[in-house]
Amino acid sequence: MTVTATSVGQSDPMPPQAAPSAWRRWLVRLVPAAAAALSGLLLYVSFPPRTLWWLALPAFAVFALLLRGRSWKVGLGLGYLFGLGFLLPLLVWTGVEVGPGPWIALAVIEAVFVALVGAGVAAVSKLPGWPVWAAALWTAGEAARARVPFSGFPWGKIAFGQADGVFLPLAALGGTPVLGFAVVLCGFGLYELARVSLEARRTGTVRRVAAAVGALGVTVPLVAAVAARPLVSDTAEDGTATVAVVQGNVPRLGLDFNSQRRAVLDYHARETERLAAAVDAGRAERPDIVLWPENSSDIDPFTNADARAVIDRAARAIGAPVSVGAVVGKDGKLLNEQVLWDPAKGPVDTYDKRQIQPFGEYLPLRSLVGAINDEWTSMVRQDFSRGTAPGVFTMAGTGVGLVTCYEAAFDWAVRDTVTDGAQLISVPSNNATFGRSEMTHQQLAMSRVRAVEHSRTVTVPVTSGVSAIIMPDGTVSQKTGMFVADSLVQEVPLRSSRTPATRLGVLPEVALVLVAAGGLGWAAGTGVRGRTRR
């Protein structure tokens, strides 16, 4: 049988151009997907403990590059990848002691909100002034994420990555929504400027309206931040108070520290007594106010006489009122409570944590979670109950607002302590569960933003670090190391004036959500459709 050239060619299973064409199609799909995930990772790198706040701007510029002109479906997918790139590394601390399952599940769920924002940004990206609509959509996504599911999870709001940034004064103007909106708008404005500039070089024609939109998107947030700078002050308005922040440390890292509850209480009492000895010897200033962390007494001092005696002895030694973090059983309820302990009278006031942590302090969907992994249900054997009123202790004549740990992420939980009379704010926390992860640094950055937002000194007493004293201008004046026993003593300014952010409350956020809704409505009404990129 003779084999001809034609028969050989016909038997070739792959046409010469098939493979390159297939590879090109895959690259067209993979490159934007990879860029979306990497730009989300870039946004994560802008967050504490790093001080690279400015990286948020190129992260959002790349996000805009990927979404502008796309269909909403493509925007949904790219937004989801951007969200995973950001949230997976940001929230890795949630799996330090319980494994990767809860961490990955949390990031996967929270990234859905970012995906929806991506779809919205793609939809409005062809509207005039699109950076404004798009930035407002990001704020709307954060607003939703802070409320649902299970009362929300605001961790990772853009504002919380800006404690070292030039935009920080905007927190005093309109709170975290305005601060975050300004950062996102500036990032989108940078992309628009770059796009118009490259187009002008290619065509020789400048699109003036688009150039103006990009320029305003960059300059307006920066000018507004400079203009808001006079709102930031650390001047004392109501005199000063000397505060002591006590970090007693824990016997060991992780969830197992709970089995050493008495040791944790003893450590904090011992550190307070050590401070009292230093005061008596003239080596430290005598405090007016002493602040212990959350869970510094996981033994209920109202039912355990031994625990009560330990706290009494420490309070008498230091000779000042002490705010003690305790786990308290009351009328069949389990409460995460701050107890105001007078050195002469004992416990005189309490504050019950209101924003309790799902899957940490209570277990939603308990039967479903137990069916997946019964070990998780054993970690939260009894659900904590919620408090109902803001906590403001009167300590040595000073109004001290209590915002317990997780509550610092929620705008309302901080604001209503100030509107209820707080002249300084304390954020007692327990980070021992999360080891040496970035969690404590992320939470410290939140407290710095809150200090500027409400123009109050903020103290952060933590069981195992990083404890800190933060001035009303957001600067950290003192801080401890991690997993060491230490105490911080400082005279701090007391303030009672209210910033615009405090007075306005939720209104700036509502306004930006309405802007986002208006942009989506306009896009839907005009039939704006994304083009398919080739």
List the catalytic residue out of 110, 142, 294, 337: 294
Write the Ramachandran bin of 252: left for phi over 0, alpha for psi from -120 to 50, otherwise beta.
beta
CB under 8 Å to 133, separation ≥6 — which residues?
124, 127, 515, 516, 518, 519, 520, 522, 523
Answer whether 156's CB lies under 8 Å from 164's CB.
no
Cβ proximity of 480 and 488 under 8 Å? yes
Q: How many Å apart are CA 106 and CA 132, to the nearest integer? A: 29
Query: Annotated catalytic residue: which of 353, 361, 407, 453?
Result: 353
List, in sequence order, every residue forming a beta bridge with 342; answer none if it has no partner: 346
- What DSSP designation does 256 have? G
Six-digit token string for 260:
């050493």
Report which DSSP code applies to 478. Answer: E
Strand partners of residue 243: 289, 490
User: Which residue in this structure is represented by tokens 């305005």?
Assistant: 178
State the Cα torsion 212-214-215-220 to the nearest 10°: 110
As a whole number of angstroms, the distance between CA 327 and CA 335 comes to: 6
Angle between helices 208-227 and 170-203 (to 10 degrees): 160
CA atoms lying within 13 Å on the CB side of residue 12: 11
DSSP 8-class letter at 489: E
Q: 97, 186, 271, 405: which is the annotated catalytic residue?
A: 405
Can you tell me which residue has the tokens 């950062």? 183
Active site residue 186: no
Instruction: Let me know if 353 is a catalytic residue.
Output: yes
Tell me phi and psi for residue 455, to 5 degrees. 55, 55
Catalytic residues: 294, 353, 405
